[in-house]
């Protein structure tokens, strides 16, 4: 019987045939596809013909199709619908993939061919995109250790393999801690909680097989609980469990993994001739240097900290007014901030939430894409990996553009957070392929499912990433979609969040779940007026995380990351009632893989641009100005990584932005 992962997919738009794929198919398909890719790479390296762009660089681009198919399916389900079998496979695949990658990057014959083509680049009649692909290929091999020999080369292979294992262990430990802890509640414990929070906790209890409602460590459950529960004792217990993820001792403790990861990253950078891992990592980003990153973060830190401290004093007075003496604690902040928001802005999230139906917010995100880029969305009836998933065909002017998949609800087997990935990237070489793009979120289930305003913003954020993938229009997949500098990749996603705050969008799509009526004008004004509420808190918890990440990688790796974390926070004067958004043992952005290592700052780097980019629409007189939308697609969304990020932004805006628009957007300007 043919393995469905290795067969030609005859499904609509060649979507993976999930109804035919079982966990037992992954390992044999992986082994076959890995061997096939190895053979393809060997054939390129051993080609007796003189190296050319076509027979070397393009040949590498065309290799590995079967492996990409297998891995795109596997990692999609492993992250969003994990089980013990998939976790075991992930532990098995990760070191093999790292070894495979290291074999390729250390293939001397292959690197010699690439270097020959690179050396002759000025005599070759290459397009701008081909020049870019050649540069990135050559640079990637050099940064991967292709120029190393002997013991250094062998050590680099070992480091890469070990880092892959550690990243997988970190992720699975965190998921285990999040999955296994929950706090049962009595009916009495529910007093004072809005119905939507109670409904979410009852649904969580059903999923856990508990006899009644529970608090879990899913952000979509625990944050509303901390926000609304009047039971300070229960808030403290829940917050302590949330803060302890990855640091509970025993087999799921991530602290030693973090320390070893940092040491190996430093060693890897030193092998390649860099002073620190930050110097290595930031070389290819817009920021370029650790100094530039620190300058941006500190420019935001001081006004954010001042705002947070002023806000903390107000919240402390409110708490003392409730007869609770002592200091404001981290499990108190969200509760009193919510009470303050209700008092100052007359904005009650329990009253707001029925207007933010998941279904209507999905429609809103699609409608904005229709008005901006002419895209239309038609729901598809195709088998997917979980019953919660949905799919749409995306077209423009009657032509197929992409398939978009949405997986919106929290569940025990899904890692926390929200993300976008391409199960198939856009490309024209070696054959035209339309992208298959997935957004994964962790919203609480309900009938209907209701979102917080932050949830709705997350939905728009991830759909901004999806648009970057779907509107890509390049030749080579290696530079398509979101294959851009890490501190540029968040620009399209953060920019798209702005359309949620466009009054006419909320007026049309923020309709009440029971009555169907549009959000009242006074509530709409309160929502927009409160958009910057508690920005001191939000900015401090984020910037503190980014500065700790930078400190971990800019210099000698700390033997004790927790001590280094404490040292950095003490130097910053971190407000005692605010914690890092991601403390070290939970910092999956940084430790689950290399993606955001020494790069967590990139959200803020991108925010400097997104605030300025939305001003381009405002200056044009409309958030849906056709000419500005066309320029955005032409210069940023369709171009992938074919041009340096700063050049792309300058083509769109005519200049690079300063930090002022960000401070203004967050309400932190002096």
* Domain 12-105+107-147 belongs in CATH node 1.20.1050.40: yes
Instruction: Characterise 643 by phi-psi region: left (phi > 0), alpha (psi -120 to 50), beta (else).
Output: beta
Residue 153 pLDDT: 94
Burial class (CB in 10 A: 0-12, 13-18, 19+), 24: exposed
**Catalytic site residue from 178, 462, 490, 541:** 462
State the Cα–Cα distance between residues 352 and 580, nearest whole angstrom.
28
Q: Report pLDDT for 485.
A: 96
- Ordered DSSP codes for 462-500: HHHHHHHHHT---SBGGGSTT-S-HHHHHHHHHHHHGGG
Per-residue exposure over 65-104, b if at least 16 CB sit within 10 Å of its own CB, e if not: ebbbbbbbbbebbbbbbbeeebbebbeebbbebbbbebeb
Cα Dmax for the chain: 83
How far apart are alpha carbons 446 and 86 in whole angstroms? Answer: 28
Distance between CA atoms of residues 294 and 300, nearest Å: 10
- For 370-408, the three-class secondary structure string (H helix, E strand, C coil) is HHHHCEEEEEECCCCCCCCCEEEEEEECCEEEEEEEEEE
pLDDT of residue 132: 98
SS3 at position 117: helix
pLDDT value for 311: 97
DSSP 216: E
Give the 3-state secondary structure of residue 63.
coil
Burial of 244 (0-12, 13-18, 19+ CB in 10 A): middle
Q: Please say if 266 is a catalytic residue.
A: no
Q: Which fold has domain 251-347+535-596?
A: 1.10.1370
Rounded Cα gap, residues 444 and 357, in angstroms: 11
What pLDDT digit, counting tens, does each position of 552-578 carry? 999 999 999 999 999 999 999 999 999
- What phi and psi values does residue 605 have, to the nearest 5 degrees? -60, -45
Global pTM? 0.92
What are the domain boundaries of the chain? Answer: 12-105+107-147, 181-245, 251-347+535-596, 354-529+603-665
pLDDT, position 84: 95
Architecture of domain 354-529+603-665: Orthogonal Bundle (1.10)
Check residue 529 and give its pLDDT: 86
- What are the distances in angstroms from CA 109 to CA 56, 137, 140, 155, 163? 11, 15, 16, 20, 26
Common-topology check for domains 12-105+107-147 and 354-529+603-665: no
Supply φ then ψ for residue 657, to 5 degrees.
Answer: -85, 165
For CA atoms 159, 161, 165, 171, the dihedral sign is positive
Task: State the pLDDT at residue 158.
Answer: 95
List CB contacts of 479: < 8 A, sequence separation 6 or more: 129, 132, 133, 136, 640, 641, 642
pLDDT at 669: 84
pLDDT < 50 regions, the chain = none
CA dihedral of residues 560, 562, 568, 573 (deg, nearest 10): -150
Please give the span between the terminal C-alpha atoms of the chain, in angstroms, as a whole number. 68
**What is the crossing angle of helices 128-143 and 108-119, to 10°?**
140
For residue 345, give every residue at least 6 positions away whose Cβ sits within 8 Å of its Cβ, in sequence order, or none: 526, 529, 530, 533
């Amino acid at each position: 019987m043919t393995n469905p992962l290795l067969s030609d997919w005859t499904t609509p738009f060649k979507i993976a045939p999930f109804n035919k794929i079982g966990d037992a198919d992954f390992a044999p398909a992986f082994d076959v596809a890995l061997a096939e890719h190895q053979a393809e790479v060997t054939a390129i390296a051993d080609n007796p013909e003189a190296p050319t762009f076509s027979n070397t660089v393009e040949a590498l681009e065309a290799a590995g199709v079967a492996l990409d198919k297998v891995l795109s399916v596997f990692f999609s389900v492993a992250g969003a619908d994990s089980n013990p079998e998939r976790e075991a496979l992930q532990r098995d695949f990760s070191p093999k993939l790292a070894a495979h990658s290291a074999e390729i990057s250390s293939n001397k014959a292959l690197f010699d061919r690439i270097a020959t083509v690179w050396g002759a680049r000025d005599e070759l009649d290459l397009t701008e995109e081909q020049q870019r692909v050649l540069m990135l290929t050559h640079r990637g091999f050099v940064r991967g250790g292709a120029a190393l020999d002997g013991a250094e080369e062998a050590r680099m292979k070992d480091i890469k393999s070990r880092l892959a294992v550690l990243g997988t262990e970190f992720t699975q430990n965190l998921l285990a801690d999040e999955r296994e802890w929950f706090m049962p509640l009595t009916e009495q414990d529910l007093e004072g909680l809005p119905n939507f929070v109670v409904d979410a906790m009852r649904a969580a209890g059903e999923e856990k097989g508990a006899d009644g409602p529970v608090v879990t460590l899913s952000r979509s459950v625990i944050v509303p609980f901390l926000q609304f529960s009047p039971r300070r004792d229960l808030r403290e217990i829940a917050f302590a469990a949330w803060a302890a993820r990855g640091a509970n001792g025993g087999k799921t403790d991530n602290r030693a993994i973090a320390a070893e990861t940092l040491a190996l990253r430093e060693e890897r950078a030193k092998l390649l001739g860099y002073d620190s891992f930050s110097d290595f990592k930031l070389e290819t980003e817009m920021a370029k240097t650790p100094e530039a990153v620190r300058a941006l973060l500190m420019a935001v830190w001081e006004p954010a900290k001042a705002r947070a401290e002023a806000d903390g004093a107000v919240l402390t007075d409110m708490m003392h007014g409730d007869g609770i003496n002592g200091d404001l604690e981290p499990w108190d902040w969200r509760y009193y901030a919510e009470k303050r928001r209700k008092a100052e802005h007359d904005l009650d999230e329990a009253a707001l939430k029925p207007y933010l139906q998941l279904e209507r917010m999905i429609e809103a995100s699609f409608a904005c894409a229709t008005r901006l880029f002419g895209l239309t969305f038609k729901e598809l009836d195709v088998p997917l990996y979980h019953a919660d998933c949905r799919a749409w065909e995306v077209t423009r002017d009657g032509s197929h553009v992409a398939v978009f998949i949405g997986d919106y609800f929290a569940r025990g087997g899904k890692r926390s957070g929200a993300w976008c990935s391409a199960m198939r990237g856009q490309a024209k070489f070696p054959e035209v392929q339309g992208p298959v793009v997935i957004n994964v979120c962790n919203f609480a289930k309900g009938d209907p499912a209701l979102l917080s305003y932050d949830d709705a913003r997350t939905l728009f954020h991830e759909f901004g990433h999806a648009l970057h993938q779907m509107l890509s229009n390049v030749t080579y997949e290696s530079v398509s979609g979101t294959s851009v500098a890490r501190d540029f990749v968040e620009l399209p996603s953060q920019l798209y969040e702005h359309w949620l705050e466009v009054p006419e969008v909320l007026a049309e799509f923020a309709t009440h779940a029971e009555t169907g009526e549009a959000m009242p004008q006074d509530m709409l004004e309160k929502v927009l007026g409160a958009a910057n509420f508690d920005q001191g808190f939000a900015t401090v918890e984020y910037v503190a995380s980014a500065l700790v990440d930078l400190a971990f990688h800019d210099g000698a790796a700390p033997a004790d990351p927790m001590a280094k974390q404490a040292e950095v926070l003490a130097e910053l004067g971190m407000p005692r009632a605010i914690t890092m958004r991601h403390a070290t043992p939970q910092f999956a952005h940084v430790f689950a893989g290399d993606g955001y290592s020494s790069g967590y700052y990139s959200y803020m780097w991108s925010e400097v641009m997104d605030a300025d980019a939305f001003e381009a629409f405002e200056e044009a007189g409309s958030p849906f100005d056709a000419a500005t939308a066309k320029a955005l697609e032409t210069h940023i969304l369709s171009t992938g990584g074919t041009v340096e990020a700063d050049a792309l932004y300058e083509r769109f805006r005519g200049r690079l932005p300063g930090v002022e628009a960000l401070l203004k957007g967050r309400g932190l300007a002096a």
